[in-house]
Amino acid sequence: MDPHTRLAIVLTLAGIGLTFGYALACWIWPFRNCQRCSGTGKRRSLSGRAFRYCRRCHGTGRRLRAGRWIYNAFSRVRRDAR
């Protein structure tokens, strides 16, 4: 077998494996930590003394993963097509 063909096969299988791995992670753990508040749900106010709820996660500290967001959008389209 040609080395270029073998490399192409290995890279293709690695890409498929990473895709399925990310899909499995989105199914098991649909949420990730909010990057803005580091998962605490709070941010300091401009004065630096008081805390406010994070605007991105609304104080939960969690955000929906991109893969899960896409899955939910496709599910919604499929459900509305019925």
Domain ranges (residues) in the chain? 3-81
Determine the pLDDT at residue 71: 92
- C-alpha to C-alpha distance for 18 and 2, rounded to whole angstroms: 24
Q: What is the model's pTM?
A: 0.70
The one-letter code for the residue type at 28 is: I
pLDDT tens-place string over residues 23-55? 999 999 999 999 999 899 998 888 878 888 999
The answer for residues whose C-beta is within 8 angstroms of residue 68's C-beta and 6 or more apart is: 26, 27, 30, 31
